[in-house]
Amino acid sequence: MEMRDDMYVNVQDLARGRPASEELSYENSAIERYHHQKTAEVDKAHTHAANPTKQNRGRRCYIVALVCLGLLCVLLLIATIVLWIMFTVEQDQLQSRLLNVTNERDQFKIHQPQKEAEYLQGIAAYLANTKQQGWKLFHTSLYHISSEENTWSKSRVNCQERGADLVIINSVEEQEFLVENLGHNRAWIGLTNINYEGIWKWVDGSALTTEYWNNGEPNNLNNHEHCAEFRGIPLKTNWNDRQCSEKEQWVCEKTVF
């Protein structure tokens, strides 16, 4: 009976093409590879568990990068909103200014003829009033020739009290106008060198450019003649320097406008 069983086993081994001892060896080899693979996996897991620093550092860098990117996006959004608000406000202001200018222009067009008429009426009334006070119109200036006599300084004060000053002669036409109205009379004009000897200036501080001095004048006689007077005819040589304390007539001048 035992022999028959052995024969049966041997027949099965022959049918499989390999002996039973070889099959057992193959199974043992598979088990060893499985244990070796598991051991490697366990060692790798222990290695990662023992050195977590590198992995945590990478995770922190990733989080910091995400936070920075988020903050940058927020800042860009805020800047965009601020710029948009500023642009909107400036645009509204420009539109408001343009509207105001347009309204002012339209009102000026409507009221311009009326304003011009009122202005001309005011000028006419002003000229009529000054004419009654003895003023004479020439070009754009009014002239007043005094009927009294006084020193150069007091004559100027009188002109200033009238809203004027001693006359400043800037052209030959103005010189001719004074000759026609003064004749042979003598009168103070607004020319002096009180501040600087030899440097003649008008009362408004402007330099002397057009001159009508008499022959040999100004001569600063006795070193006391520092004020200029108008001596009538002849036309182009009728200015003279004279002592400022002398008394004579004077000519005031003020502009119409």
Q: Per mean pLDDT, which range of 72-86, 162-176, 181-195 is the poorest?
A: 72-86
- Taking alpha carbons only, the member of 241, 234, 165 closest to residue 205 is 165
Using one digit for the tens of pLDDT, what is the confidence trace for 171-202? 999 999 999 999 889 999 999 999 888 899 99
What local confidence, expressed as pLDDT, does residue 11 receive?
41
How much is the mean pLDDT over the chain? 79
Long-range contacts of 234-239 (CB under 8 A, 24+ apart): 235/175, 235/176, 235/179, 236/175, 236/212, 237/212, 237/213, 238/179, 238/212, 238/214, 239/189, 239/191, 239/211, 239/212, 239/213, 239/214
Percent of the chain with pLDDT over 70: 72
Residue 164 scores a pLDDT above 90: yes
SS3 106: helix
What local confidence, expressed as pLDDT, does residue 68 receive?
87
- Taking alpha carbons only, the member of 169, 164, 184, 167 closest to residue 251 is 167
| pLDDT bracket for residue 100 (50, 70, 90) | confident
Using one digit for the tens of pLDDT, what is the confidence trace for 196-231? 888 999 999 999 998 999 999 999 999 999 999 998
- Taking alpha carbons only, the member of 21, 250, 36 closest to residue 143 is 250
What local confidence, expressed as pLDDT, does residue 25 receive?
56
What local confidence, expressed as pLDDT, does residue 10 receive?
47
User: Would the pTM of this model clear 0.95, i.e. be above it?
Assistant: no
Listed ranges 99-113, 154-168, 197-211; the one with the highest mean pLDDT: 154-168
Q: Rg of the Cα trace of the chain?
A: 58
What local confidence, expressed as pLDDT, does residue 12 receive?
46
What local confidence, expressed as pLDDT, does residue 213 receive?
94
Q: Where are the domains of the chain?
A: 2-50, 136-255
Q: Describe the crossing of helices 2-16 and 20-50 by its angle, rounded to 10 degrees.
A: 60
Residue 5 scores a pLDDT above 70: no
Residue 54 scores a pLDDT above 80: no
Residue 101 or residue 145, greater confidence: 145
Pick the CATH number of 136-255 from 3.10.100.10, 3.40.50.12240, 3.40.50.300, 1.10.357.10: 3.10.100.10
| pLDDT bracket for residue 159 (50, 70, 90) | very high
What local confidence, expressed as pLDDT, does residue 15 receive?
43
Segment 133-137 shows an average pLDDT of 90
Q: Which residues contact 248 (CB under 8 A, 6 or more apart)?
A: 149, 150, 186, 187, 188, 229
Give the rounded distance of the alpha carbon of 102 from its chain centre. 23
Q: Count Cα neighbours of 57 within 13 Å in the Cβ-side half-sphere.
A: 4
